[in-house]
Amino acid sequence: MIRKSMASAVAALALGAVSSAAFAQVPANITAALASPARPAEDTARDAARHPGEILAFAEVKPGASVVDFIMGGGYFTRILSGAVGSTGTVYAYQPAEFIQFSAKYGENLKTVSAALPNAKPLDGSLLALDLPDSLDLVFTVQNYHDLHLKPFPKATAAGVNAEVFKSLKPGGLFVIIDHAAAAGAGTTVAHDLHRIEIAAVKAEVEAAGFKLEAESPLLRDSSDPHTASVFDPAIRGKTDQFILKFRKPG
Domain count, the chain: 1
Structure confidence at residue 15 as a pLDDT band (50, 70, 90): very low
DSSP state of 123: E
Give the CATH number for residue 118. 3.40.50.150
Kindly state whether residue 212 falls inside one of the protein's structural domains: yes
According to the model, what pLDDT value does residue 1 have? 33
User: Is residue 139 included in any domain, yes or no?
Assistant: yes
C-beta atoms surrounding 66 within 10 Å: 20
Residue 22 lies in a domain: no
CA distances from 133 to 31, 160, 167, 178, 201 (A): 27, 15, 10, 22, 26
- Burial tier of 44 (Cβ tally within 10 Å: 0-12, 13-18, 19+): middle
How far apart (Å, rounded) are the C-alpha atoms in residues 69 and 178? 12
3-state secondary structure at position 223: coil
Q: For the segment 169-179, what is each residue's pLDDT rounded down to a tens digit?
A: 999 999 999 99
Residue 20 is predicted with a pLDDT of 35
- Asked, for residue 12, whether it belongs to a domain, the answer is no
Nearest to 162 by CA among 180, 181, 143, 149: 149
Burial of residue 127 (number of CB atoms within 10 Å: 0-12, 13-18, 19+): buried
Residue 29 has pLDDT above 70, yes or no: yes
Q: Is residue 68 part of a domain?
A: yes
What's the pLDDT score for residue 10? 34
- Scanning 103-241, the segments in alpha helix (DSSP H) are 104-116, 157-168, 191-194, 199-208
Partners of 92 in the β-ladder: 68, 121
Q: Is the pLDDT at 21 greater than 60, yes or no? A: no
What angle (nearest 5°) sits at the alpha carbon of residue 135, between those of residues 214 and 148?
Answer: 60
Q: What range does the domain containing 234 cover?
A: 27-248
What pLDDT, on the 0 to 100 scale, is given for residue 168?
A: 98
* pLDDT tens sequence across 33-76: 999 999 999 999 999 999 999 999 999 999 999 999 999 999 99
Whether 34 is in a domain gets the answer: yes
**Of 159, 72, 81, whose CA–CA distance to 119 is shortest?**
81
Structural domain contains residue 217? yes
Structural domain contains residue 75? yes
The per-residue DSSP string of 61-107 comes to --TT-EEEEES-TTSHHHHHHHHHH-TTSEEEEE--HHHHHH-HHHH
Please name the amino acid found at residue 207.
E
Cβ density class 146-166: b for 16+ within 10 Å, e for less: bbbbeeebeeebbebbbebbb
